[in-house]
């Protein structure tokens, strides 16, 4: 958790949000671009909690206002508004699960335009932006921090909120497989399950449901994968693009799941998937099996993330992007 600056009275995120709710203030909440289950679950859960406390809440996310089918079913998602429709000078702006201002896209301006900006995040690469921060790199997911905030706000966790929190928790812990999972992670999961949520249905929608075109895309992308065991502790990489996804009837967001297949390669500690975007850039996902700090690589290339999962955007060509990754992995 970020320590308060010496000599400055502490304003905790919970205190700021409680005051905003008590005053019926305007609060805008947003996760990062191309939100995942943790970003969206955090945003929707905290938005609902603040709404119950009396705040005037607007929940949104940057970029194209379309969610993938794997997330569009989350409770409250139907109430999300496009980023172009949010108040331009809210009393409070809350950034959730965004590792840097750049991850907020066009909404980053609200960090300065809002009366107070609150940042809630768990990425180790977070540089410490916003007026009031709850940044805990040891937390396995941002929804864990949101659960704590809801407790401080006196909001009871019911099945609605628990579904949102469980979705983010299951996603960011890899269904509790990743090393970030702690004893209290399971304790929170048990608490959420006790509300009566259908956790099997949540997991099926998040991880085990995809259109048939996904199999075609996966076959093509896996078929062009390259294994380079001599790079660092081993590198496996492949690529695709939003255009290729479209050829299989899939939205570009479907590319996000590719890296979780590629990372299973036993001979490589680092998995990399390059996802070509419509503007010619590459959105790069990096994953580590444990020996390599991929956040170090991503941060050196303008991105960020966690030791085991990170990413960045590249404006080099495909081979130039991979070569930049090779060079950094060689500096272990």
In this structure, the number of other CB atoms found within 10 A of the CB of residue 10 comes to 9
Output the pLDDT for position 233.
Answer: 97
Closest among 163, 152, 140, 3 to 75, alpha carbons compared = 163
21 Cβ contact list (under 8 Å, min separation 6): 27, 50, 53, 54, 55, 153
The beta-strand segments (E) located in the chain are 26-30, 56-60, 92-96, 116-121, 132-135, 226-228, 235-241, 270-276, 282-288, 304-305, 309-314
Q: Which fold has domain 212-330?
A: Diaminopimelate Epimerase; Chain A, domain 1 (3.10.310)
Phi and psi dihedrals of 288, rounded to 5?
-120, 145
CATH number of 13-207: 3.90.1640.10
Contacts of residue 312, defined as CB under 8 A and 6 or more positions apart, other chains included, come to 284, 286, 298, 299, 301, 302, 303, 304
DSSP H/E element including 281? none
Three-state DSSP class for residue 135: strand
Give pLDDT < 50 ranges for the chain: 1-9
List the chain domain ranges: 13-207, 212-330
**How much is the pLDDT for 150?**
98
- What are the backbone angles phi and psi of residue 107, rounded to the nearest 5°? -85, -5
Question: How many CA atoms are closer than 13 Å to the CA of 300, on its beta-carbon side?
Answer: 14
What's the pLDDT at 9?
A: 44
CB 55 within 8 A of CB 25: yes
In CATH terms, are 13-207 and 212-330 the same topology?
Answer: no
Q: What is the pLDDT of residues 12-56, one digit of tens each?
A: 999 999 999 999 999 999 999 989 999 999 999 999 999 999 999
In angstroms, what CA-CA distances link 130 with 37, 112, 173?
Answer: 23, 8, 26
Could you give the residue ranges of the DSSP H alpha helices within 110-212?
A: 110-113, 142-152, 159-172, 183-193, 199-207
Instruction: Tell me the two tokens of residue 124.
Output: 């180790």
Provide the pLDDT for residue 332.
67
Residues 6+ apart with CB under 8 A from 26: 55, 56, 58, 87, 90, 91, 92
Cα dihedral value 246, 249, 253, 255, nearest 10? -80
Question: By the 8 A CB rule, do 209 and 244 touch?
Answer: no
């Amino acid at each position: 958790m970020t320590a308060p600056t010496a000599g400055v009275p502490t304003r905790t995120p919970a205190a700021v949000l409680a005051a905003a709710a008590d005053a019926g203030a305007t609060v805008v909440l947003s996760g990062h671009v191309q939100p995942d289950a943790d970003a969206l679950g955090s945003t929707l859960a905290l938005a609902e909690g603040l709404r119950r406390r009396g705040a005037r809440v607007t929940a949104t996310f940057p970029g194209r206002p379309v969610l993938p089918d794997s997330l569009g079913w989350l409770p409250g998602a139907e109430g999300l508004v496009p980023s172009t429709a949010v108040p331009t000078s809210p009393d409070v702006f809350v950034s959730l699960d965004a590792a840097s201002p750049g991850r907020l896209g066009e909404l980053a301006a609200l960090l300065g335009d809002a009366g107070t900006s609150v940042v809630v995040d768990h990425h180790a690469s977070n540089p410490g932006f916003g007026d009031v921060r709850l940044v805990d790199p040891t937390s396995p997911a941002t929804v864990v921090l949101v659960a704590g905030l809801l407790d401080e706000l006196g909001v009871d966790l019911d099945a609605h909120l628990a579904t949102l929190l469980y979705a983010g928790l299951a996603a960011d812990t890899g269904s509790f497989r990743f090393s970030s999972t702690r004893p209290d992670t399971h304790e929170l999961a048990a608490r959420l399950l006790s509300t009566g949520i259908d956790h099997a249905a949540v997991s099926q929608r998040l991880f085990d449901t995809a259109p048939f075109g996904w199999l075609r895309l996966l076959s093509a992308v896996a078929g062009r994968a390259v294994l380079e065991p001599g790079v660092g502790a081993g590198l496996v990489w492949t690529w695709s693009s939003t255009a290729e996804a479209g050829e299989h009837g899939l939205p570009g967001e479907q590319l996000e799941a590719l890296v979780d297949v590629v990372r299973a390669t036993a001979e490589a500690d680092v998995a990399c998937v390059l996802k070509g975007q419509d503007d010619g850039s590459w959105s790069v996902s990096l994953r580590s099996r444990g020996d390599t700090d991929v956040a170090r690589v991503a941060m050196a290339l303008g991105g960020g993330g966690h030791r085991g999962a990170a990413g960045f955007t590249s404006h080099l060509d495909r081979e130039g992007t991979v070569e930049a990754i090779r060079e950094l992995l060689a500096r272990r």
